């Protein structure tokens, strides 16, 4: 199974050095959406909807190529 990495970006980039083995990009997108929901739940008191516009998750493959960017503002 391929390994996907989920780097969180806002004013800094939080590097995912471990990644997760998932069957395909569709599963990686689902994982990223869960991560977005979890992060929003943890920080909902301190950030308003406008602040989330700066946040996103990059889904990368094992070679480091960005496959997709999931913006927080749309989820």
Q: What is the pTM of this model?
A: 0.86
Domain residue ranges in the chain: 3-74
Q: Is the pLDDT of residue 75 over 80?
A: no
CB of 52 closer than 8 Å to CB of 72: yes
**In the prediction, which pLDDT does 51 show?**
75
> What does the pLDDT look like over 12-28, one tens digit per residue?
889 999 999 999 999 99
H-type helices in 1-75, by residue range? 25-43
pLDDT band at 53 (very low <50, low <70, confident <90, very high): confident
Number of alpha carbons in the 13 Å side-chain half-sphere of residue 69: 10
β-bridge partners, 20: 4
């Amino acid at each position: 199974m391929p390994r996907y990495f989920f780097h969180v970006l806002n004013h800094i980039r939080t590097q995912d050095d471990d990644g997760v083995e998932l069957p395909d990009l569709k599963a990686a997108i689902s994982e990223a959406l869960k991560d977005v929901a979890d992060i929003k739940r943890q920080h909902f008191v301190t950030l308003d909807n406008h602040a989330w516009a700066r946040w996103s998750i990059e889904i990368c493959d094992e070679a480091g190529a960005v496959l997709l960017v999931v913006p927080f503002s749309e989820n």
